[in-house]
Each structure stands twice: as C-alpha cells, then as structure tokens.
Amino acid sequence: MLLEGEIVVITGAGRGIGKATALLFASEGAKVVLAARNRTQLEEVASHIADLKGECLILPTDVSIENEVTACFDQALGHFGRIDILINNAGVLYNGPFLETSLEVWDQLLGVNLRGVILCTRAALPTMVANGSGKIINVASGAGLRGLPGGSVYAASKAAVIALGASLAGEVEANGIKVNTICPGPINTEMQNPSRHKDAVQKSSKLLPPDDVAGAALYLASKLSGKTSGQTISVRTSNRW
C-alpha cells in the first residue's frame, strides 16, 4: 500500500474530488480525516471507508471560518497525534459576468477557495515542521492558469492558490515539507453538474471523472513523487481548459 499508516486531512471530502480522494487514500492504507460542511455527505463517505476496512474521522468544518478550522485540526491531532498530508480541496464555483458579480460573491469565493487554503495550511504546518516532514496538496483549477471568461472571481481565487503553493514550497523545503498544486480541467462533479437533467447528463460525458484527480493526488502524496515540490500539475484532456 502506498500510504500505509499515513494521516491525511482532506477538505471538501463529502463529494466529488474530495470523496474520490478519500476513498482512494483509504484503500491505500491511509487514515483519513474527512472535513466538509455537510455531515450527511461525510457520513456516507465514512461508510464506504468502513467497507474498505479503513479508518477515518468525521469533522464537519467550514474552512472559511477560523475557529472551525482550528477546532478541526485540534481534534485531528488529538485523535491521530500528527498530520502527514493535507489535501486542500474544498472549493465553490460561481459563473457570471464581472460587472454582475457582487462583492458578497467575491467575499464568499475568496473565503472558501483562498482563505480556506490559508487557514488549513496554517493549522497543519506546525506539526509538519515539528516532525520534519509533510505534504500539502492544493486543488486549484485550470481556470487559475488560463482564466475563465464569465468566471473571473473563480479564476482569480484559484490563481491565488497556485501562486501561494509555489511560494510556500520554497519556504518549507528545508523543513522536509513538499507543496504541490493540482489544476483540474472540467470534472464530472456536483459542482459542475448541480442538476441531473438531460443537458447535464449529456455534458457529463465530456467531463473527466474525479478519480483522475484523486490519482494525481495519490502520486503527489506517496513516495512515487520523490522530491517533487513547488509544481503545478494539470489534469485535463488536451482540448479542454
């Protein structure tokens, strides 16, 4: 198993990429902390992990709220004693013209997509520094690399995550910590397909499965990636953003 005994915190773990990553990591021997706002979704993921004979801890958390993040990581450390891997995956999507995007929407998306990454990374880093090892994997978006007309707030938040990861990698390299970023293209998740009407089903056939992103995360989280750090990996087909 590639992650035998590793302690992993995954945000946005209740569905989509986070769920796929949690199940894959559990199947590879990791002990998984499941963090997201929706307890019901987390409990469903936990039941699948139990079927895999894996171990997990459910911690409902809004990553944009500092005291909730602090409580989440305090409980994770109290239960498992350390954190080896952090997957900053929680995110929200908004599409709309720039001039029609309210400041409230900007605050909401930046709060989850960027502030959430900052808060969780700040919470995880001290134990990683103390242990002299750790891996942080941020899930950004291809929109952060290439822009997204009609989705400026989302693209801007993800571009900031990419820059944060590349910058932090150089800071913590001497502490034995590796930081990398995954930039998915369009993925078949509830965030991309909030409804299952006919058009959404047809669109879903053109989207990549969340398992593709989970596989990239497994590579970066395991020994397979060696000393790789400060890198941004795209997961997409050749003709999709």
Which pLDDT tens digits describe the chain residue by residue (241 residues)? Answer: 999 999 999 999 999 999 999 999 999 999 999 999 999 999 999 999 999 999 999 999 999 999 999 999 999 999 999 999 999 999 999 999 999 999 999 999 999 999 999 999 999 999 999 999 999 999 999 999 999 999 999 999 999 999 999 999 999 999 999 999 999 999 898 765 544 444 444 455 578 999 999 999 999 999 999 999 999 999 988 665 5
Check if 94 is active-site: no
| 148, 154, 178, 235: the active-site residue | 154
* Residue appearing with tokens 């900052």: 118
Q: What is the C-alpha R_g of the chain? A: 17
Residue of 156, 154, 180 whose CA lies nearest to 168 = 180
Return the number of other C-beta atoms located less than 10 Å from residue 202's C-beta. Answer: 9
Residue of 152, 160, 158 whose CA lies nearest to 103 = 152
pTM, 2 dp: 0.93
Residue of 17, 139, 38, 150 whose CA lies nearest to 94 = 150
User: What DSSP character marks residue 140?
Assistant: -
Query: What amino acid occupies position 225?
Result: S
Tokens of 128: 């990683």
The H-or-E segment that residue 145 falls in is: helix 143-146
